[in-house]
Structure 1
Amino acid sequence: MAKAVSAQALAIACSLGMEVTFARVIDAPGQFASPADPIEWQLRRRTQQEDLRRFSGQEEGQVITNRVLLAGTPADELSDWALDHGATLLATGRRRFEDGRGMGSTAQSLLERGEHSLLIVPPGQPRKGPYRRIMVPIDGSGRGDAVLPVARRIARTHGADLMLIHIVPPTEILETVNAPQLHRLSNELDEQKRRHGKNHLEELRSRSIEDGLEVETILRGPGDPRSMLRDAAISEDVDLIVMASHGTTGLSDVACGSVTKYLAEHAPAPLLIVRPNLRCSFGPKEKNCRNPSVFRFDE
């Protein structure tokens, strides 16, 4: 799993001009029992440091890499270190459960904190080669559209196609109401939302095509955006999903929206959750791993 997360993190870092720090968190002395023997603790610490050094030394040299050994509770230590050192993006793996869902306690805690952009990698083999298809869910919100420069930059670096997808949410009516005019009105509203979604997708596609990218648009629904986005990621064989932490609701008192949370647990491909503290510009100049980053990270 560490190799799979590492490969995805390096691929994103290469695209966005980031440095990568490989972090390992071990139990702090006396965290779960009586105080540890100082000699035993130092030996264990050195062993972990050497293992981390070997792991980070195996990675490709296109991205500047560092390493850090932390002690304590993983989510707390990783989040605190990232805040102290100005790291904007955290990459972590997702555990494999029998029912096909779930994240594991560390990934779940990092998501619920809502402090950083997150790259969540599902179980599977490490990535090989560049990204080919990148899916960007578009819900018509400003936050949803704001992730496009990030997705464009990654697509440009990897020579990938962009797939912009909009799921029309269904118009809800009370099941107890059986008035024909209400059902007719619901169908009319659904059709109006489809037209609006189609026009918005075409507008975003035109902007991306002007930047020299191959862009496909998909309109589906009415239906549940959560399951329909997951199904689309499978059927379209996407390599990466890029989306905002919040969508149309934009509730400030929750770490992420319901659709983002669902995909964090169920997405078949790596999910890059972009929060508002990650901003960038996008221009026609070709970028690669050795070019300076166009991103500005707001603390």
Structure 2
Amino acid sequence: MSPAPEREVTGIVAVLGHPEEVGVGFPWSVALARQAGVSLTLLHVIDPVNTTELAENATAMAKDMLSLLAASKSVSGLDLRTRVETGMPETVVPEVAGEAHGALLLLAAGEHGAFARSLLRRGRENVIHHLQSPFILLPPRIGAPARVERAVVGMDGSALANQASSVARALSPGISIVEVEVLEPGSVPADEYLAFVPQFSESTIRMRGRAGIAILSAARTMDAGLIVVGGHGTTGLGGRHLGGTAQWLSHNADRPLLVVPEGPAAPGG
């Protein structure tokens, strides 16, 4: 099988709306954009269904809030843009991300993260089906931004898993990658499962267990600052647009989670 094409990161789009999203997503997006050496777009989407403000007032307030963030000393030297759009976040956010090849979304997955909620709960299948851009979910109660030096990557033999690894390298040049391969119960005959020989090293972990639990445990054990998975795996979950492992981790991870859906490797590719 030919090697999976590399996926690049050319810019980060941080979805900021509720103060919770701003408080978490803004500092993390700045830190990651600096580490990757890419542009940063601060995006606010006005949901006409849920807003209690007049449309023109909502737009004016959103523009001022993003302008305030853009005036922060923390963004000095960054290629920073601000953008306000109106529409359903489930539609607008994928469209904005899809406008630029190599865009990476950053989402705060807390109680008030509108797009993250739609992604993780009701409506998530439709969103993921149309989303080709990688995205980072910041879990609730995440700590202050820190430089990402090591990542654990869930590996299942698929080309998508290899692409996910390349996105992590693009996001954090020089990052140490720990590949985690998990043999789940029922995936092979019982005698083969019991005879499986695990492997534990600084760069490779092969073990038995449930994929999500094993990958999260590996991240904690190896002190990895980032968890990386493909948007779906090769475990028979093709009917879901967000694979079972990514779905479980989206609810249980305690550090940034990078999810890489299938998408074009290069324009016209």
For 2:91, what is the secondary structure of its paired residue?
helix
For 1:277, what is the secondary structure of its paired residue?
coil
> Which residue pairs with 1:220 in the alignment?
207
Identity, in percent, stands at 20
For 2:242, what is the secondary structure of its paired residue?
coil
> Which residue pairs with 1:176 in the alignment?
none
> Which residue pairs with 1:89 in the alignment?
104
> Which residue pairs with 1:267 in the alignment?
253
Counterpart of 1:54, as a letter, is L
Counterpart of 2:67, as a letter, is R
Runs of 4 or more above 6 Å deviation: none
> Which residue pairs with 2:192 in the alignment?
188
Work out whether residues 121 and 270 of structure 1, in 8 Å CA contact, stay in contact via their aligned partners in 2: yes
> Which residue pairs with 1:180 in the alignment?
none
Q: How well do the aligned residues superpose, as a CA RMSD in angstroms?
A: 3.4
CA distance in 2, matches of 1:119, 1:5: 10
CA distance in 1, matches of 2:217, 2:51: 46
1:17 Cα deviation from its structure 2 partner: 4.8
Work out whether residues 88 and 297 of structure 1, in 8 Å CA contact, stay in contact via their aligned partners in 2: no
Q: Does 1:124 align with 2:124?
A: no
**Structure 1 pair 90–61 and aligned structure 2 pair: CA distance change class (3 A):** same
Name which of 80, 84, 89 aligns with 1:65.
80
TM-score of the superposed pair, with normalisation by structure 1 = 0.66
For structure 1, the residue ranges without an aligned partner over 5 or more in a row are 98-102, 174-184, 203-214, 280-295
For 1:105, what is the secondary structure of its paired residue?
helix
**Structure 1 pair 51–163 and aligned structure 2 pair: CA distance change class (3 A):** same
1:271 Cα deviation from its structure 2 partner: 0.8
**Structure 1 pair 139–190 and aligned structure 2 pair: CA distance change class (3 A):** farther
CA distance in 2, matches of 1:7, 1:33: 25
Counterpart of 1:80, as a letter, is E
**Structure 1 pair 83–172 and aligned structure 2 pair: CA distance change class (3 A):** closer
Bigger Rg, which one: 1
For residues 36-76 of structure 1, give each alpha carbon's deviation from its aligned partner in whole angstroms, at most 9, with x where no partner exists.
7xxx5434422221111112332423531211112232222
TM-score of the superposed pair, with normalisation by structure 2 = 0.73
For residues 16-44 of structure 1, give each alpha carbon's deviation from its aligned partner in whole angstroms, at most 9, with x where no partner exists.
5542211112243xx4699x7xxx54344
Q: Does 1:105 align with 2:118?
A: yes
1:106 Cα deviation from its structure 2 partner: 5.3
CA distance in 1, matches of 2:249, 2:102: 23
For 2:65, what is the secondary structure of its paired residue?
helix
Q: Does 1:55 align with 2:69?
A: yes
After TM superposition, the structure 1 = structure 2 runs for residues 278-293 of structure 1, keeping only pairs within 5 Å, are 279=265
CA distance in 2, matches of 1:61, 1:298: 35
> Which residue pairs with 1:9 in the alignment?
29
For 1:104, what is the secondary structure of its paired residue?
helix
For residues 224-274 of structure 1, give each alpha carbon's deviation from its aligned partner in whole angstroms, at most 9, with x where no partner exists.
112222233334332111221122247655322111111122111111111
For 1:164, what is the secondary structure of its paired residue?
strand
Number of positions where the alignment pairs a residue of Structure 1 with one of Structure 2: 241
1:8 Cα deviation from its structure 2 partner: 3.2
Work out whether residues 111 and 118 of structure 1, in 8 Å CA contact, stay in contact via their aligned partners in 2: no
CA distance in 2, matches of 1:257, 1:16: 27
CA distance in 2, matches of 1:33, 1:22: 19
CA distance in 1, matches of 2:51, 2:144: 39
**Structure 1 pair 91–189 and aligned structure 2 pair: CA distance change class (3 A):** same
Work out whether residues 14 and 62 of structure 1, in 8 Å CA contact, stay in contact via their aligned partners in 2: no
**Structure 1 pair 155–49 and aligned structure 2 pair: CA distance change class (3 A):** closer
Counterpart of 1:105, as a letter, is S
After TM superposition, the structure 1 = structure 2 runs for residues 245-256 of structure 1, keeping only pairs within 5 Å, are 245-249=231-235, 253-256=239-242
CA distance in 2, matches of 1:188, 1:224: 16
For residues 175-195 of structure 1, give each alpha carbon's deviation from its aligned partner in whole angstroms, at most 9, with x where no partner exists.
xxxxxxxxxx62334435x47
